[in-house]
A and B are shown apart, each in its own frame.
Chain A
């Protein structure tokens, strides 16, 4: 028993080292920009870079758009499937998992062929059109996570009873969805939203191949041309991911607490 426990400790400690050391290494590296002293110079340079500001804001905007469109698409669908089309559930679930099967790079390859400037729907012909395509692409990428999140939320409440109760009080479907269902799965939705944010914010493949000035390609560009700034950007990215996951934790813990 005692010996066992030592093995457990070793596994956890080695694992933690593997995960913490690169972060420390990166952080230390990011402070080395000025010769001989530790400084936040790299951060200052990055934050002051107009290209950084532009690409970061662009990606934040894109992430928000992705979340909104994704939710508009997924919440009613998941609700409807749960309520009226139970037999369709395996099929819908299968479709939502497809983006995990088809690699992103393959998907964007298909987009480029299907929606190029000489096709029936020339989305890539204009910057605005490409933005739309990119957003839809991100919705696709986020589909597995968002759907799962929303579905879990819906399964934890009794959708049918809630709906029937509301219907018997004379509420219409839109009212039911917005006033009854949404508030009840709020934390599930928030979880899905922040996960999506974490995925979209630094995404590289789609943005790079669709040639849009997003944060991911910017990171790559800086990485190829600078020494210390990439490390600073990495720490910032990690902080963003961490914040997203932290919020998800808090949100779902609140839900668990509410249920008790």
Chain B
């Protein structure tokens, strides 16, 4: 570290850009543990087992079982992303939109920090203990209201169960991402609209809504990507009974269940494309909204 900093502070000489030496360890690390591994899969997706170029793996992604894995993943992510975004936005607005005691906001933020990081295996356990067959809420509904949600077709190990579970970190994440956008709404905008005759609804329809929309969509996309790549919660919750793409890929990595390594690479590539696109869209939307809210 010291040596590196030493070298880098020397003036430019002999054509070696010394300033760049300072970031070499970082770049080296990024190449070795971030870029090369990703690139390896991307390239592998376009090769057959003998290393020849082919599009067959990409084509094979469109077989029903793989397609359905992607589709379920997308559905879970859309459902938890959108629902999370909506509820998170409401909570953020409720906490800072005025009218509530001052301590609500910091409490909500701290709690959101915790809950948005409380994912993975323990989260699955928490929901099993709550909404599983012997869970607290399940038993409560049964004993107090005589309502057997399992008899009504609910199951924590399914699509909706997983979505509800994901919301536990999606909503707080939304609160964290979206709060700055709401705080960027200036009081004067509402007053200016009001004095020009706008009703509350018209203010939201013409000003606050459009101003918040890019941030909202961007955040929803981020939530989408966040749950699309998640596996630990789903795996601990459902084992391999729910066919989402991360669990499929997990099984493939463990035991080559597809009997084609390169098809596995193609699945990985598909995931990168989906999360990559949603992140790109997120960045684009964020630049738009920051332009307004600066």
B138 → chain A, closest Cβ, in Å? 9
Provided the pairs A5-B99, A7-B94 are in contact, do residues A109 and B5 lie with their beta carbons within 8 angstroms? Answer: no
Whether B229 pairs with A104 at a CB distance below 8 angstroms is: yes
Residue of A nearest to B134 (CB): A29
Q: Does residue A257 face the partner (Cβ distance < 8 Å to B)?
A: no
Which one of B36, B110, B134 contacts A110 once the chains associate, using CB atoms below 8 Å? B36
What B residues does A73 contact at CB under 8 A? 25-26, 29
Residue B155 interfacial (CB < 8 Å): no
Q: Mask for B253-286, Cβ within 8 A of A = 1, else 0? A: 1100000000011001001100110010000000
Number of chain A interface residues as a range: 35 or more
Contacts of A173 in B (CB 8 A): 2, 5-6, 8-9
A251: chain B residues within 8 A (beta carbon): none
**Beta-carbon contact of A15 and B171 below 8 Å:** yes
Q: Which residues of B contact A11 (CB under 8 A)?
A: 90-91, 93-94
Q: A5-B99, A85-B20, A219-B236 are in contact. Are A12 and B34 (CB under 8 A)?
A: no
Contact present for B113 and A12 (CB under 8 Å): no
Smallest CB gap from A145: residue in B: B117
Asked whether, in the complex, the Cβ of A103 is within 8 Å of the Cβ of B229, the reply is: yes
Query: Are B8 and A80 interface neighbours, CB within 8 A?
Result: yes
Please indicate the chain A residues that have their CB under 8 angstroms from the CB of B230 in the complex.
103
CB distance from B180 to the nearest CB of A (A): 13
| Most B C-beta atoms less than 10 A away, residue of A8, A12, A98 | A8
Q: Knowing A105-B246, A209-B250 are in contact, say whether A26-B33 is a contact too (CB < 8 A).
A: no
What are the residues of chain A within 8 A of B253 when measuring CB–CB?
A: 105, 108-109, 112, 209
Q: Mark B236-251, 1 if CB is under 8 A from A, else 0.
A: 1001000000100110
Q: Is the CB of B2 within 8 A of A174?
A: yes
The size class of the interface chain B forms with chain A is: 35 or more
Bound CA–CA A9/B98 (angstroms): 11
Shortest beta-carbon distance, A128 to chain B, in Å? 17
Q: Tell me whether A12 and B94 are in contact (CB under 8 A).
A: yes
Interface residues of A in 159-176 (CB under 8 A from B): 172-174
The answer to whether B168 has its CB under 8 Å from any CB of chain A is: yes
Partner of B231, one of A102, A105, A224: A105
In the complex the two chains form, is A24's CB within 8 Å of B37's CB?
Answer: no
- Of the residues A5, A25, A102, contact of B137 by C-beta under 8 Å: A25
Contact check: which of B30, B91, B134 meets A15 at CB < 8 Å?
Answer: B91
A225 at the interface (CB under 8 A from B): no
Q: B51: shortest Cβ distance to chain A, in Å?
A: 13
Q: Which of B123-131, B143-151, B189-197, B204-212 contacts A (4 or more CB under 8 A)?
A: B123-131
Whether a CB of chain B sits under 8 angstroms from the CB of A58 is: no
Known A76-B4, A85-B20, A136-B29; contact A204-B115, beta-carbon cutoff 8 A:
no
Task: Rank and list the top 8 A-B pairs by shortest CB-CB distance, nearest first.
Answer: A110-B37, A103-B229, A25-B136, A25-B130, A174-B2, A204-B232, A29-B129, A173-B5
23 pairs, CB–CB < 8 Å, chain A vs chain B: A15-B94, A22-B127, A22-B129, A74-B26, A76-B22, A77-B22, A80-B5, A80-B8, A80-B19, A100-B225, A103-B229, A106-B268, A109-B265, A136-B33, A202-B122, A204-B235, A205-B250, A216-B120, A219-B122, A220-B235, A231-B125, A233-B125, A245-B113
